[in-house]
Structure 1
Amino acid sequence: MELNKEVLDCMKALRRRLREELEVDIRLSQPNAIGAMLDGSLKSIDEETRRLGQRLAELSDQPQRPTSTPIAAVELPSANPSGAVRIYRGQRVYA
């Protein structure tokens, strides 16, 4: 997907509204920033925020997902690894 000025302006406006309304901090550099913004706009009760989410979905060629689907599924390891476990940038790292 191409990020042009119109898409970035819409993302910035939606990001600002989501931060104020839902206290959600989304960075534009995140790999799933558009998906997170679309999910946040669906959870919003403000009509302008929902309209911005619909506009972003049109510009990014991504359908808006229903609110019942999770943003990202986390795969848990099936076996207990030996060694220490630490969290690095929100991910489990086995040392």
Structure 2
Amino acid sequence: MELNKAVIDCMRSLRRRLRDEQQLDIHLNQPDAVSAMLAGCMRSNDELTRELGRQLATFSEQLPAPAPVPPSPSSSSTTVRIYRGQRVLA
């Protein structure tokens, strides 16, 4: 997922609000940071936090998600590693 200034600003605001409201400790470099923030927004009673969650959901839906790699029959002998959230053959 490509992060631009608008996405980072939204994530920072959400991170602060969720930490204050729900004591959630979410780091921006976590692989599941966006999904954790969206889950926290769903549980929030504050309308501004929920609105920021809707904005983040819109940003994340606009960016293309990586397509899953189907397993091939010959892949049993190759090693798959995860590098920066992407599957890499080793």
The answer on 1:31 being equivalent to 2:39 is no
Using the size of structure 2 for normalisation, the TM-score is 0.67
Using the size of structure 1 for normalisation, the TM-score is 0.64
Q: CA deviation at 1:2?
A: 1.0
Counterpart AA for 2:55: R
The residue aligned with 2:72 is: none
Mind listing any 5+ residue stretches in structure 2 that lack a counterpart? 63-90
SS at match of 1:61: helix
Once the two structures are superposed, residues 37-87 of structure 1 have per-residue CA deviations (whole angstroms, 9 ceiling, x without a partner) of 00000000000000000000001118xxxxxxxxxxxxxxxxxxxxxxxxx
Counterpart AA for 2:20: E
- Structure richer in helix, relative to its length: 2
- Aligned positions of 1:70-85 closer than 5 A: none
The residue aligned with 2:82 is: none
Counterpart AA for 2:14: L
Question: How many pairs are equivalent?
Answer: 62
The percent of aligned pairs where both chains have the same amino acid is 60
Runs of 4+ in structure 1 off by over 3 angstroms are none
Q: CA deviation at 1:33?
A: 0.2
The residue aligned with 2:15 is: 15
Mind listing any 5+ residue stretches in structure 1 that lack a counterpart? 63-95
Aligned residues: CA RMSD: 1.0
Q: CA deviation at 1:22?
A: 0.4
